[in-house]
């Protein structure tokens, strides 16, 4: 079915901000189908605790696909306790080479409080250059706002909330119903 016949699911903005000894991952709650808001209170940021280690993850894309990836990430983290970078690379390798996983349409931002990574289906594990990253429909708006706010006296959470507010004002697929998770170094 073409994009014109079935417009597809849209609507997520996730931001990750590393500042002042903590990482904040925030996500909006909007899920849209074409021009219709299906749900405004989706929870796209989650706390994981594989092997007793605290991890925060936010996802953009298909919810079922994202949950599949989060389950795989948890398994990788249980196999490599305390090694988020290694688990992320292993997940990205599987995602790129496994025929089933290749069809998954989602992206992840993950953090253990020290590192923050974006994991993509193209096999990428990206660490943001300026301690702020964003994904999803309004990701570029949130990223630009977050980068501009990093040199202020705002905390990581304040930067994330303000950047998400700006993204929500610009992107029709982003709302102000935020889920915010903080993890300290």
H helical segments located in 26-138: 63-79, 84-97
The partner residues of 26 in beta bridges, in order of sequence, read: 15, 180
Residue 93 has phi, psi (to 5 degrees) of: -65, -45
User: Is 52's pLDDT higher than 80?
Assistant: no
* pLDDT in the model for residue 163: 98
CA distance linking residue 140 with residue 147, whole number of Å: 10
Each residue's pLDDT tens digit, 62-106: 777 888 889 989 999 999 998 999 999 999 988 888 776 777 778
Residue 130 has, within 13 A of its CA and on its CB side, a CA count of 13
Give the per-residue pLDDT at 10: 55
Selected residue with higher pLDDT from 6 and 79: 79
Q: Where in the sequence numbering do the catalytic residues fall?
A: 12
Task: State residue 168's pLDDT score.
Answer: 96
Structural domains in the chain, sorted by start: 9-173 (3.60.20.10)
pLDDT tens-digit profile of 23-51? 999 999 998 888 888 899 999 999 998 77
Convert 120-154 into a string of H (helix), E (strand) and C (coil). Answer: CCCCCEECCCCCEEEEECCHHHHHHHHHHHCCCCC
């Amino acid at each position: 079915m073409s994009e014109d016949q079935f417009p597809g699911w849209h609507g997520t903005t996730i931001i990750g901000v590393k500042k002042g000894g903590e990482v904040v991952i925030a996500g909006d709650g909007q899920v849209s189908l074409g021009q219709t808001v299906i749900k405004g209170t989706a929870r796209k940021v989650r706390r994981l605790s594989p092997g007793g280690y605290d991890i925060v993850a936010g996802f953009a894309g298909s919810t079922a696909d994202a949950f599949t990836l989060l389950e795989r990430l948890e398994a990788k983290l249980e196999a490599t306790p305390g090694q988020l970078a290694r688990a992320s690379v292993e997940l990205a390798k599987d995602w790129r080479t496994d025929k089933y996983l290749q069809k998954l349409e989602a992206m992840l931002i993950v953090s253990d409080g020290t590192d923050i990574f974006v994991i993509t289906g193209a096999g990428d594990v990206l660490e943001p250059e300026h301690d702020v990253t964003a994904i999803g429909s309004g990701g570029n708006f949130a990223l630009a706002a977050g980068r501009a706010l990093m040199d202020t006296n705002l905390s990581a959470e304040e930067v994330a909330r303000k950047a998400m507010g700006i993204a929500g004002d610009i992107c029709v697929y982003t709302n102000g119903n935020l889920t915010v998770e903080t993890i300290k170094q």
